Chain A
Amino acid sequence: MAEKTAQKAQRTVGEETYEPGVPDGPQNWRHKLRDRDEMLRYLETGERYWFSDEWYGSEKRRTPA
């Protein structure tokens, strides 16, 4: 406990850069995908690690799949 308090006292970064408390209700961001075009576009962006040819991260340097 003493350790925790000491650590808190030392903190210098990031304080109050967020909103304290918990949000009201689910943040249903998936409802923002309104139609199939948007859903497929999301696949190439949001799920690009699996669905876009351009994005293979470290794997890009290896033999492509």
Chain B
Amino acid sequence: MAEMEERSVDGATNEMIEKATQDGVLTVFDRAENMRPCPIGAEGSCCKLCSMGPCRLPAPRRREETPEEKDNRRGVCGATIETIAARNFVRMVAAGTSAHSDHARTVVEAFIQAAKGEGSDFGILDEQKLLQVALDFGIEIAGRTSREIALELGEEALKEFGKPDGTLKFLERAPLRRQQVWEEQNSKPRAIDREVVECLHRTVMGVDLDYKHLFQQASRTALADGWGGSMLATELQDIMLGTPVPTTGKVNLGVLRHDAVNIVVHGHEPLLPEMLVVASQDKELRAAAAANGATGGINLSGICCSANEVLMRHGVPLAGNMLQQELAVVSGAVEAMVVDVQCIMQSLPKVADCYHTEVMTVSHKAKLPGAIHIEMDDAAPLAAAKEIVRRAIDNYPNRAQSKVNIPDHSVDLVAGFSHETIGYLLGGLFRASYKPLNENIINGRIRGVAGVVGCTNARVKHEDIHTQLVRELVKNDVLVIQTGCAAMACAKIGLMTPEAAHLHAGPGLAEVCETVGIPPVLHMGSCVDNSRILMAATAMVKEGGLGDDLSDLPVAGAAPEWMAEKAIAIGQYFVASGVYTVFGVTWPTVGSPEVTDWLMDEISESYGGKWAFEPDPIKMAKLMIDHIDEKRKALGLDEARERVLFDMEMRRDLDAV
């Protein structure tokens, strides 16, 4: 039991791991313990790009490599370790970018259908944002209906994936200085698909063999994710489904209910989850649930970013993050686990075999042996959603009470902090502004801003690094913005309620949060919504007083428990946007000290941003805070903060008298 408790800092997770063991079910936590990571692959020193390999080229252990050894560390084809490490990294960026951007393509296609109004379950919910994005795309809005504008916008958005000329439209949203940097580095993405394809081509055996040149393409591709695919997904989803506004919710496996049909939606795209919200409120279906004995009706909750999407727009509770997907099934209380794309464990049907849960796939892109496939129409998923809910209701009587154990853990949170909502909360409807944020950074109450995002990873204690890091940051007056599974980790320890300011934040940050009525840790949404962070940071630059570029801001980013290729793509677009970005757990190029040094130092000469790797959360916080302080100093703000802290000290002394 003591050993079990060490797997997570979250009580619900530990309880369910123990239950899985008792039920004879293997989970990701067992598999991670039973199989150690390959040390050669982990450091990026394995190449399997051609059939003369795989070539395994590990660095010498516990000693410096001699120059001769380094020169001889080559694959059969002659590729150096630098080329091999860089190619592996670039392919991760390409894969991550393709995931966010293929999600975006699905959204754009559904958006076009919604604009046409033909057989679509969706419409235009946020007309203001439609006008805004249409103007970004140079689309005429005067005298045209929303549908006409939306149709042209959808068609133009679709061209962003494969247009033959020009560069991506949303790059023009970035600060002017940043656009200039991209121009100088030849890193402005052209079309999204083109950049991914070029990554794959350039990393084929015997093409681009200069690692610095390979990273130029990695940056261009990653920027096609952040300022392209991810931003398109966020913006068009907002137009179709609504821009997030402050919304309350709950998080953790305790949101599952004994008296209700529990449907858990897991994955990333919000289209089906939106319609599951509608279907779960359908009168007939609720009556059917009651008739089957579910007096509490239909209870929808979510895992991963599907959950974040419907939390942000509807307050649908979060059952948990990526590592908790199997554990939701282990509760014995889930009638249906519905999955679409990304971060889905193939073990789900095997876990479900021990209970009554039906695992259902819905995307034409992703099937899973052992699951029931109910293919949805991306533009009109309500029919599939209703069928899923019906099946779940039918499955409710199969729940074996003897196998049910819903952990008694759930915590309140406030979500919905789109960049628009932050501006509104800071300034009001027609005075929406980032001025109060900048002013409080300038006067030193807020030291800086940190984006803490990304996955959870079974190679480290679940949520431990996230929670320690974010606690340390807010204690030091750093405002934290979050997305993805990272956000859920911190919500679970109560950091996403307004009270958290008083309980956890340093005095300056607490004062600002309490005045505005916001938590010290802001939930900005799903992983594609990291594009909201880019927009918020751009608003800070454009507001003024904090430099001319994203790289001037006292901000830092982190993915403390990352695991997916998508995280590498996100990290690379933040670095290429000028942000200092720290990753934990492991670093995929350590097999090449030269490449690693370049990514963690020299790359900043080109982009202003750079990478860092630090597995210890307190040291990670220190790196981020030191960077923030360095930027404050460069802006001449270091004295302002000392003055504020001195005032605080004096006020405390006076208070104590």
A: which residues have CB within 8 A of B?
Answer: 3-4, 7-8, 10-15, 17-30, 32-33, 36, 39-43, 45-47, 49-51, 55-63, 65
Shortest C-beta distance, A41 to chain B (Å), equals 7
Beta-carbon nearest neighbor of B247 in chain A: A26
A14 touches B515 (CB 8 A): yes
> Does B423 lie within 8 Å of A46, measured CB to CB?
yes
State which of A7, A26, A58 has its C-beta within 8 Å of the C-beta of B541: A58
CB distance from B304 to the nearest CB of A (A): 22
Return B440 CB to nearest CB of chain A, in Å.
12
Q: Could you list 12 further interchain pairs (A-B, Cβ under 8 angstroms) beyond the known A19-B517, A22-B412, A33-B429? A: A10-B507, A12-B655, A18-B498, A27-B246, A30-B245, A43-B135, A50-B132, A51-B135, A57-B543, A59-B175, A59-B544, A62-B176
Binds A, one of B221-229, B545-553, B590-598, B623-631: B545-553
Q: How far is the CB of B107 from chain A (nearest CB, A)?
A: 19
Residue in A4, A23, A41 whose beta carbon sits within 8 Å of that of B246 in the complex = A23
With A39-B128, A40-B131 as known contacts, state yes or no: A28 contacts B547, CB within 8 Å: no
Task: Find chain A residues with CB under 8 A from B503 CB.
Answer: 4, 8
Which of B36-44, B64-72, B413-421, B558-566 lies on the face that meets chain A? B413-421
Q: Which 8 A-B pairs have the closest CB atoms?
A: A57-B544, A46-B432, A49-B542, A14-B511, A39-B128, A14-B514, A57-B542, A26-B247
What are 5 inter-chain pairs, A to B, with CB distance below 8 A? A8-B502, A22-B498, A30-B128, A39-B128, A43-B135
Interface string of B624-654 (1 = CB under 8 A from A): 0000000000000000000000001001100
Tell me, yes or no, whether B431 is within 8 Å of chain A by CB: yes
- Residues of chain B within 8 A (CB-CB) of A25 are 247-248, 315
Q: How many interface residues does B have (CB within 8 Å)?
A: 63
Which residues of chain A are within 8 angstroms of B131 by Cβ–Cβ distance? Answer: 36, 39-40, 43
- CB of B116 within 8 A of chain A? no
**A-binding residues in B (CB < 8 A):** 126-128, 131-132, 135-136, 173, 175-177, 242-243, 245-248, 314-315, 412-414, 416, 420-421, 423-424, 427, 429-432, 434, 475, 497-499, 501-504, 506-507, 510-511, 513-515, 517, 538-539, 541-548, 648, 651-652, 655
A19–B552 Cα distance when bound, in Å, is 35
* CB contact under 8 A between A15 and B507, given known A27-B246, A56-B542: no
The A-B contact count (CB < 8 A) is 149
Which residue from A41, A49, A59 sits with its C-beta under 8 Å from B430?
A: A41
* B176–A42 touching, CB < 8 Å: no
Q: Is the CB of A57 within 8 A of B132?
A: no
CA distance A7 to B506 in the complex (A): 8
B residues less than 8 Å from A45 (CB atoms):
430-432
Q: Contacts of A29 on B, CB cut-off 8 Å?
A: 245, 421, 424, 429
A40 to B423, CA, bound (A): 16
Q: From residue B470, how far is it (CB to closest CB) to chain A in Å?
A: 13
- Residues of chain A within 8 A of B247, CB atoms compared: 25-27
* Complex CA–CA separation, A30 to B418 (angstroms): 12
In the complex, how many angstroms separate the beta carbon of A19 from the nearest chain B beta carbon? 7
A55 to B539, CA, bound (A): 11
Which residues of A have CB within 8 Å of B314?
26
Residue in B128, B510, B542 whose beta carbon sits within 8 Å of that of A59 in the complex? B542
Q: Which chain A residues border B545 with CB–CB below 8 Å? A: 57-58
